Structure 1
Amino acid sequence: MSDRGDRPASGTTPAAHAAERKGPDRDAGVLVIGLGRFGSAIASTLDRLGQDVLAVEQDARLVAQWAGRLPLVEADASNPEALEQLGAKEFGVAVVGVGTSIEASVLIAGNLVDLGTPQIWAKAISAEHGRILTRIGAHHVVFPEADAGARVAHLVSGKLLDYIEVEDGFTIVKMRPPKELQGFTLAQSNVRQRYGVTIVGVKSPGVDFVYATPETRVSANDLLICSGHADLLERFAARP
Structure 2
Amino acid sequence: MADKNMDDQIVVIGLGRFGTSLAVELVTRGCEVLGIDSDPKIVQRFADDLTHAAVADTTDLETLRQLGVHQFTRAVVAIGTDLEASILTTSLLSDLHIPHIWAKATSREHGRILERVGAHHVVLPEHEMGERVAHLVTGRMLDYIELEDDFALAKIPTPKEAVDIPLGQSQLRSKYGVTVVAIKRPGEQFTYATADTVASRHDLLVIAGARDKVERFAELS
1:61, distance to aligned residue in structure 2 (A): 2.1
Q: For 1:40, which of 13, 16, 20 is the aligned residue? A: 20
- Give, in whole Å, the separation in 1 of the partners of 2:17 and 2:177: 38
**Residue 16 of structure 1: aligned partner:** none
Q: Who is 1:123 aligned against?
A: 104
Q: Which amino acid aligns with 1:111?
A: L
Q: Deviations over 1:34-79 (max 9, x none)?
A: 1111111211111111112211111122112212111211222122
Query: 1:203–1:209: 8 Å Cα contact kept in structure 2?
Result: yes
* Distance (Å, rounded) in 2 between the aligned partners of 1:207 and 1:118: 40
Q: Deviations over 1:192-237 (max 9, x none)?
A: 1221111111100122322112221111111101111111111111
Which residue pairs with 1:51 in the alignment? 31
Count of residue correspondences:
219
Q: Does 1:110 align with 2:85?
A: no
Q: 1:128 & 1:184 partners in 2: Cα distance? A: 47
CA distance in 1, matches of 2:110, 2:194: 45
Q: What root-mean-square deviation, in Å, do the aligned CA atoms of Structure 1 and Structure 2 show? A: 1.6
Does 2:212 correspond to 1:228?
Answer: no
Unpaired stretches in structure 1, ≥5 consecutive residues: 1-20
Q: Report Cα offsets for 1:159-193 as digits up to 9, x if no partner.
A: 11111112111111111111222222213322112
Residues 109-129 of structure 1: per-residue CA shift (max 9 Å, x gap): 122112111111111112222
Alignment partner of 1:202 out of 147, 171, 183: 183
Q: Which runs of at least 4 in structure 1 moved beyond 6 Å after TM superposition? A: none
Quick one: which amino acid aligns to residue 197 of structure 1?
V
Q: Which 5+ residue runs of structure 2 have no aligned equivalent?
A: none
Instruction: Please state whether the residue corresponding to 2:49 is helix, strand or coil.
Output: coil
- 2:163 maps to 182
Partner of 1:148: 129
Structure-2 residue corresponding to 1:69: 49
Structure 2 CA distance for partners of 1:91 and 1:155, relative to 1, 3 Å: same
Does the aligned pair in 2 maintain the 1:33–1:57 contact within 8 Å? yes
- Specify the structure having the higher radius of gyration (Cα): 1
TM-score where L is the length of structure 1? 0.86
